[in-house]
Amino acid sequence: MVSGRLLARVDAVTRTAEAIIAGDLGRRIALSGSGDDFDRLSLTLNRMLDWIAGLLETLRQVTNDVAHDLRTPLTRLRHGLLASGRTAATVPEYGASIDRAVGEIDEILEIFTALLRIAQIEAGARRAGFRSIDLSDVLRTVGEAYAPAVEDGGRRLRCTVEPDIRIDGDRELLVQLFANLVENALHHTPVGTTIALDLTCAGGRVVAAVADDGPGIDASERDKVLRRFYRVEKSRGAKGHGLGLPLVAAVAELHAAALTLADNQPGLRVRVTFPPSA
């Protein structure tokens, strides 16, 4: 009797696996509700299948993004080379054409590099390298690195960082996260803007924020700017490909941190709330 029930459940797992192989990627192993070892195993397998499905969806989205958003620079490159072939008549003209083509290719490579980095982060591979890091030092490092560029751009950078705040994480990725947020504020605010870089710890909650008193982002677009390649209409003329904030979101998710974009009255405040270290 017990053997019969066990074989029936094994058969159900086999049928589920066969359905997934056949293309039904949403199929999952049914649980009996008993909470026994077989149910726990099935639950673990279902979680694994959910994770794999998420990776496949990410791959599909990246593929669609590449196909859609690389079309413009590739088309521009092709038209430029065709025009040069028809009109360039001297060595300097051909040289200028080559320089423009190299610039277009560099832009394409930048997009590929950013997309691959986001995909790598979303896959969770970097979590294995987590260690205790000094987050206070991370924010001070970013502040010191960007202070000259912010000042040269006619803006002010204010850093208020509590000392000796530690979390478990990847230092390199966290530097990239806060560097992207400062660059985003630098590129999308007018001269005279103040950019604030803050870090506090209260009640076990570690909260980092990058804020500015610039034009901000409309509430209806704050979730959209975390999508790959999305750019608000008023920023379409600015430098960039719309991949900076998606990378920030990927790094925050890897660290199980809550990312929120809010009105700074005026401007934008991006807050990253980290879970307590184990």
Same domain flag for 168 and 253: yes
CB neighbours of 125 closer than 8 A, spacing ≥ 6?
A: none
pLDDT digits (tens, 9 = 90+) for 102-139: 888 887 887 777 777 777 777 776 777 789 999 999 99
Q: Which of these ranges, 5-19, 67-81, 121-135, 151-165, has the smallest mean pLDDT? A: 67-81
Residue 193: the pLDDT is 93
Phi, psi at 149, each rounded to 5°? -65, -40
pLDDT digits (tens, 9 = 90+) for 133-162: 999 999 999 999 999 999 998 999 999 999
Residue 82 has pLDDT above 80, yes or no: yes
Same domain flag for 221 and 196: yes
Can you tell me the mean pLDDT for 40-58? 84
8 A C-beta contact, residue 215 and residue 141: no
Same domain flag for 32 and 85: no
Percent of the chain with pLDDT over 70: 91
Same domain flag for 180 and 103: no
Residue 162: the pLDDT is 94
8 A C-beta contact, residue 135 and residue 165: yes
pLDDT band at 245 (very low <50, low <70, confident <90, very high): confident
Residue 27: the pLDDT is 86
Percent of the chain with pLDDT over 90: 31
CB neighbours of 99 closer than 8 A, spacing ≥ 6?
A: none
Residue 236: the pLDDT is 47
Same domain flag for 44 and 78: no
- Taking Cα atoms as reference points, which of 186, 189, 178, 264 lies closest to residue 219? 264
**Domain assignment of residue 233, given as a range:** 129-274
Q: What is the CATH number of the domain that holds 258?
A: 3.30.565.10
For residue 41, what are its two tokens?
């195993």
Same domain flag for 133 and 220: yes
pLDDT digits (tens, 9 = 90+) for 228-244: 776 665 554 555 567 78
Residue at token pair 């909470």: 35
Same domain flag for 108 and 213: no
pLDDT band at 272 (very low <50, low <70, confident <90, very high): very high
- What is the tally of structural domains in the chain? 3
Q: What is the pTM of this model?
A: 0.67
Same domain flag for 162 and 266: yes
Residue 232: the pLDDT is 65
Same domain flag for 140 and 270: yes
Same domain flag for 40 and 77: no
Residue 22 has pLDDT above 80, yes or no: yes
Average pLDDT taken over every residue of the chain? 84
Among left, alpha and beta (phi > 0; psi -120 to 50; other), residue 248 is alpha
Same domain flag for 12 and 76: no
Same domain flag for 110 and 139: no
Answer with the one of 46, 66, 86 that is the final residue of a domain. Answer: 66
Q: Using CA atoms, how far apart are residues 227 and 181, in angstroms rounded to an integer?
A: 15
pLDDT digits (tens, 9 = 90+) for 179-198: 999 998 998 889 999 999 99
Residue at token pair 């008193």: 213
Single-letter code of the amino acid located at 188 = H
